[in-house]
Structure 1
């Protein structure tokens, strides 16, 4: 792909940050993604939270700027799953 070289450089920056053995937070991840941005290319940044079935996506100003993150909650991403009764609720209703 035409971005292979820039992707390799950005990946190297992220690897170095990981090797520093710092504690990770959502803000640290956002800062790391911002540091690897390319000023002339607006790439989406995505922070996935599988344990919550949610994600944050930055849609604009993603070159070297901080971006504007939008939270996409589980209710929006998986409405059928959220609307379905949980196993605990079904068991409680059965007794």
Structure 2
């Protein structure tokens, strides 16, 4: 999420404020991050063109898996699942770096 947030803030939040006028009150990504959910930020990234609809769904799924691992649950991924998860995240970061607002 940190990398996505940095990309969203790379233009001083201009693009995100254009698609979410109610977020105009936030002058930096730190305040915005504290006020909206991670899923809302992912949706906004799609709306400003940083993510396609399928990329948005994939990131939301990865976020859900992260939450499942971080909070008490019956889900206990093995080493290969963890490596695969990290590998997919790194690939998504690289793909995001090739895009601009």
TM-score, with length taken from structure 2: 0.25
TM-score, with length taken from structure 1: 0.26
Higher RCO (C-alpha under 8 Å, 6+ residues apart): 2
Higher-Rg structure is 1
Which structure dedicates a bigger proportion of its chain to helix?
A: 2
